[in-house]
Amino acid sequence: MGNKGGKETRGGGHRLGGGAGGAGGNLSASERAKVQHIVSMGFDASPAVYALRSAKWDVQDTVALLVSQASTSQRQSPSGSRTTATNGGGNTLGGGNAREGSRREAAALAAERRAKQKFGNASSKVRKTTSKGRAERAKKEASFAAELGKSSGAAVTASVSSLAAASTAFQNTSTSSRATASRPAPAPAQASTLVSRNPEERIKVLANMVAKYPPTVDTLVFIITAILDNPGVQKYRELKTTNKRFTSRVGASEGHGERFLTALGFSKSGEWLVLSPRAEDKALLWLGKACLEKIKNEITYIRASDQIELEKALSASAASADEEEAARRKTFESKVVPEPEEGSGGTTRVMVKMGPTTAQRRFCADDSVENIVCWLGATQSSLIPPQLENGEWTLCDCTLYPERVLDYSLMRDMTLQAAKLWPSCELELRPKQRIIE
């Protein structure tokens, strides 16, 4: 085809090989594949290489750029005239014989079909672009307008309408996606869900929310029972929210307790919650009581109640300073090993959470699990060792997920390293019923 030192393709003399000075010189295998892909859509090789380089080898951006320049060239060409141009390798782009024109028309139709397939599902391939990226793209298009405008051949002219439409659809979809992404995040679903529910559904949902607060559940049951047992007595229908008992029980549930009373018909009036005769609905009151009674038999309420009892027992034991408690603690002091110095080798740091309190100290890696329990019995409460032995309480290893329950009856003589409590561990003292198998 008159190109020296270059390689010709079967599609009409587009040079992909060429010398170092050609547009397609020194291309990697992946870059050649992208060039060939653009050529197979009906574009010429030389402008395809320039466009790919300007678009940083992004095929979609390259097609959009070539389509834009082809549209510009088509508008500038006089109607009915034939355009003849050459690319960087000297290949004629127009004015061929009838056979060459037929071949280009077939290539144009094939390019149109590929474009429709490529951009037909553009919504699933939308790329988020910023305003800065769009400005850079427009600048690149302007810089290559003169060179790429000359390279729009007959094949591009035949398929430019469909490609332009596909590119427009792609850009519109991108704009829609950016608009959707820029919308503010929706409000939390919990509040909107409760507002949209009817009173019966709100009561059921709020009953589940207060399940992990046993004092709140017990107090709400007491309030509803007093209202149902004393019709017409207003003092049972007025609750002072600043009352110490109300605050420590109903108020200690992250607001769920007050929202539950509001769902029953109570309304806020200053520092009071009042159930007026007009707002009183016995059906809702009976439903609320039934939901709470059901909650008291479920595992969430039971585990929370057991944890409260454990914390009360530990608090009572810690507050006890009588001779009997001191004697019981002294029986465990003899089994408490000395604490190794900080920074010494072969040590492990043990932290034990017991309700609201936490205790920690260092042990040697070859100390036993029993040494930890005796330390807790001597310093925290004499109830801990016997409760662990009879299985009423248990130690849970919370160092890693999932949590691991320590069977004290089997592991009491194991070293901390053998029990995988080295070089550090986080333990929690729990009632047996709270363990999730």
If asked whether residues 131 and 229 sit together in one domain, one would say: no
Q: What is the mean pLDDT of residues 232-237?
A: 90
What 3-state class would DSSP assign to 45? Answer: helix
- Report the domain count for the chain: 3
Q: Which residue has the higher pLDDT, 195 or 304?
A: 304
* Residue 236, helix vs strand vs coil: helix
b vs e for 188-207, b when ≥16 Cβ sit within 10 Å of the residue's Cβ?
eeeeeeeeeeebeebbbbbb
**What does the mean pLDDT of the chain come to?**
74
211 and 119 in one domain? no
DSSP type of residue 335: T
In a domain, 119, yes or no: yes
CATH value at residue 253 = 1.20.58.2190
**Average pLDDT of 23-49?**
79
Residue type, 344: S
User: Are the C-beta atoms of 261 and 223 separated by less than 8 Å?
Assistant: yes
Write the single-letter amino acid at 378.
A
Do 380 and 279 sit in the same domain of this protein?
no
Give pLDDT, residue 51: 83
Better pLDDT: 218 or 192: 218
Identify whether residues 210 and 242 lie together within a single domain.
yes
Domain boundary residue, one of 144, 162, 181? 181
Instruction: With a cut of 70, say whether residue 348 has pLDDT above it.
Output: yes
- Within-domain flag for 7: no
Boundary of a domain, candidates 154, 181, 208? 181
**DSSP secondary structure letter of residue 339:** P
Regarding whether 194 and 174 lie in a shared domain, the answer is no
Residue 73 has pLDDT above 80, yes or no: no
| Domain assignment of residue 129, yes or no | yes
CATH code of 404's domain: 3.10.20.90
Alpha carbons 429 and 130: distance in angstroms, whole number? 53
Q: Tell me the CB-side half-sphere exposure of residue 367, using CA atoms within 13 A.
A: 27
CB contact at 8 A, 203 and 220: no
> Residues 6 or more apart from 266 whose CB is under 8 A from it?
239, 273, 274, 275, 279
Verify that 169 and 215 share a domain, yes or no: no
For the cut 90, the answer to whether the pLDDT of residue 143 exceeds it is no
State the amino acid at position 171 in one-letter form.
Q
Task: Output the pTM of the full model.
Answer: 0.42
CA dist 372 and 267 (Å) reads 52
Location of structure tokens 């030389």:
46
- Cβ-Cβ contacts under 8 Å for 115 (sequence gap 6 or more): 41, 63, 159, 162, 163, 166
Report pLDDT for 354: 87
pLDDT single digits (tens) 90-128: 444 444 444 455 555 566 566 666 655 655 544 444 444
Q: Where are the alpha helices (DSSP H) in 126-153?
A: 131-143, 145-149
**Domain residue limits at 225:** 190-297
145/408 Cα distance (integer angstroms) = 79
* Domain termination residue (choose one: 137, 152, 181): 181
Q: Are residues 74 and 174 in the same domain?
A: yes
CA of residue 81 relative to chain centroid, distance: 59
41 and 172 inside one domain: yes
Residues 384 and 425 in one domain: yes
Query: How much is the pLDDT for 55?
Result: 81
Among 89-103, 255-269, 346-360, 400-414, the range scoring the smallest mean pLDDT is: 89-103
Residues with Cβ < 8 Å from 279, sequence gap 6 or more? 265, 266, 267
In a domain, 15, yes or no: no
Query: Average pLDDT in the 34-46 region?
Result: 83
Position 310 in a domain: no
| CA nearest neighbour of 388 among 407, 414, 361 | 407
Note whether 170 and 48 are same-domain residues: yes
Residue 51 lies in a domain: yes
Assess whether 177 and 195 both reside in one domain: no
Please state, in angstroms and as integers, the Cα–Cα distance from residue 157 to each residue in 44, 81, 100, 413, following that order.
12, 13, 15, 86
Helices assigned H by DSSP within 41-130 = 45-54, 59-76, 98-119
337 in a structural domain: yes
* 257 and 168 co-located in one domain: no
Lowest model confidence (mean pLDDT) among 93-102, 222-231, 318-327, 417-426: 93-102
251 inside domain: yes
How far apart are alpha carbons 39 and 153 in whole angstroms? 12
Extract long-range pairs of 12-18: CB within 8 Å, 24+ residues apart: 12/91, 12/100, 12/103, 12/104, 12/107, 13/89, 13/91, 13/92, 14/39, 14/44, 14/45, 14/46, 14/87, 14/89, 14/91, 15/45, 15/46, 15/87, 15/89, 15/91, 16/45, 18/89
